[in-house]
A and B are shown apart, each in its own frame.
Chain A
Amino acid sequence: DAKTTQPNSMESNEEEPVHLPCNHSTISGTDYIHWYRQLPSQGPEYVIHGLTSNVNNRMASLAIAEDRKSSTLILHRATLRDAAVYYCILRDPSNTGNQFYFGTGTSLTVIP
């Protein structure tokens, strides 16, 4: 299983940026970095993914270190609705194919 390490929990004030770190020191050259989040009582939802370059979408930004051994999910302005468990996942389509290995994730609390 591709391994990632995330803090168990983080807190952020509402309307402030949030940086969620993920370490993946054993990442291989073909591993994609995916982020999903799971709101309370819901299934996980896709946030963003990338391979080497930084990525932006309407939900968040993904900053990938040059050596790819770590990455950071950036929420530009946290809202109460962003309170969720955030999962950083490595996936190698050429090896594990479509399996997503979820860890225990980071539980984000947003303080009003």
Chain B
Amino acid sequence: DAGVTQSPTHLIKTRGQQVTLRCSPKSGHDTVSWYQQALGQGPQFIFQYYEEEERQRGNFPDRFSGHQFPNYSSELNVNALLLGDSALYLCASSLVDRGNYEQYFGPGTRLTVT
């Protein structure tokens, strides 16, 4: 059973560019959450998707947007990249029927903005 997978593993972008990160949830999971983790910090919640809709959102600007597809996979899009967007982006999947209490995280995508 494949766990949560993310692509790409690493990415280097230039300020002002746009980036799309992808996530495939653990088999059977229906909810996907995205987190940003700066170096030396804990993950910060960006938003969560369920039934192809954004359910909740953390304190992130509108430059951060997402999408969930019918197969439950998800994308995170960041527009107008800033140097401060450099971080590890984590995707987590869970099951709404189980209260989403146990989130399974992927290995993350390391984004570097130069």
Q: Tell me the A residues contacting B by CB distance below 8 Å.
A: 32, 34, 36, 41-46, 49, 85, 87, 91, 93, 96-105
Partner-binding segment picked from B37-45, B66-74, B77-85: B37-45
Closest beta carbon of chain B to A3's beta carbon, Å? 13
What is the minimal beta-carbon distance from B70 to any residue of chain A, in angstroms? Answer: 20
One of B92, B99, B102 near A43 (C-beta < 8 A)? B92
The CA-CA distance from A112 to B66 in the complex, in Å, is 44
Q: Contact check: which of B31, B44, B105 meets A44 at CB < 8 Å? A: B105
Residue of B nearest to A46 (CB): B102
CB distance from A89 to the nearest CB of B (A): 9
Whether B103 pairs with A97 at a CB distance below 8 angstroms is: no
Q: List 26 A-B contacts (CB under 8 A).
A: A36-B103, A41-B107, A43-B90, A43-B108, A44-B43, A44-B103, A45-B105, A85-B42, A87-B42, A93-B100, A97-B55, A97-B56, A98-B31, A98-B33, A98-B56, A98-B94, A98-B100, A99-B56, A99-B58, A100-B45, A100-B103, A102-B35, A102-B44, A104-B40, A104-B41, A104-B42
* A102-B58 Cα distance, complex, nearest whole Å: 12
Q: Known: A98-B48, A98-B56. Contact between A103 and B42, CB under 8 A?
A: yes
By beta carbon, the residue of chain A nearest B45 is A99
Chain B residue nearest in CB terms to A85:
B42
Bound-state CA distance A98–B49 (Å) is: 10
Residue pair A93, B107 in contact (C-beta under 8 Å): no
Question: Using an 8 Å CB-CB cutoff, how does the interface string of B83-107 with A read, 1 for contact, 0 for none?
Answer: 0000000101010000111111111
In the bound assembly, the distance between CA atoms of A36 and B101 in angstroms comes to 11
Q: Which B residues touch A42, using CB under 8 A?
A: 105, 107
**Residues from chain B with Cβ under 8 Å of A102 in the complex:** 35, 42-44
B4 at interface (Cβ–Cβ under 8 A)?
A: yes
A10–B43 CA distance with the chains assembled, in angstroms: 20
Collect the chain A residues with CB atoms within 8 Å of residue B106's CB: 43
CA distance A96 to B59 in the complex (A): 13
User: In the assembled complex, how far is the CB of residue A59 from the closest CB belonging to chain B, in whole angstroms?
Assistant: 12
Nearest opposing residue in chain B for A93, CB measure: B99
List the A side residues contacting B35 at CB < 8 Å: 102
